[in-house]
Amino acid sequence: MPEELASRRNLWLLPILIGTGVIVVLAGVFWLVIGGSDPESSAETEQGNSDGGVVDIVEPENSDQIDLTHVEQRDSSDPLAIGDVDAPVTLVVFSDYQCPYCANWSNDTLPVMMEYVDGGQLRIEWRDLNVYGDLSERASKASYAAGLQDMFWEFHDELFLDGEIRAESQLTEEAMLEIAEGLGLDTEQFIEDMRSDVVDEQIQANEAFGTDLGAYSTPAFVLGGQPMLGAQPTNVFVDAMDNALSDAHDDEHDDE
């Protein structure tokens, strides 16, 4: 983990200001997270943010200086990423396959974000936090194994089919194998990778990557260097994306 990430342990910048029926994102709000990961408290946080509940917030003195672009890896060999490594904007997603709000976001908003990917404007990097335990971790390993055969996003879509999380009986190793077979993967290689130490270490590293930042609740995002928390409405992400593109365009002109 880079020193810059380690120095930001337990710090998560939450740019959400909720008013009467209106959610304003990227307001430069500061949230200091203290303590360890707690799936129950994570679920409560998701409910509050996703359903428009009140969030306690404190505004920072220098909110205009928020910049988390250092979390972008832009690794061309990353099996959990999609989009040009040189895309003007990157979206880092912290998720969990047992998080219903992550499923909702993947069903409602991710397809819209993919349109920006197709247009060469956005790169998406996926990171699983697995705050819900063993079932989440098994799904995470399976999706990573699928990614090693260039089928991460197809497998991801199956795990969040119709915007729903899978029941425990649908997250067994046998169930993961059935998905792999249905997608036409090399199933022997899939099982070998899913059980491998290499994949296990990478899953643990991705989880630590998020928790070292203080991202204990899912879904959480860094879009164009700006933090966002919760399955906010799609239009909020579109507005944030358009702002990020505008900023990237301005920075490009400044460099000329």
State pLDDT tens for residues 77-108: 999 999 999 999 999 999 999 999 999 999 99
Mean pLDDT of all residues in 28-51: 34
Question: How confident is the model at residue 11, as a pLDDT?
Answer: 40
Cis peptide before 60 (omega within 30 of 0): no
State pLDDT tens for residues 143-196: 999 999 999 999 999 999 999 999 999 999 999 999 999 999 999 999 999 999
Task: Quickly state the pLDDT bin for 67 (edges 50, 70, 90).
Answer: confident
Task: Quickly state the pLDDT bin for 216 (edges 50, 70, 90).
Answer: confident
- Smallest Cα–Cα separation from 131: which of 89, 95, 180? 95
At how many degrees (to 10) do helices 152-159 and 173-182 cross?
120
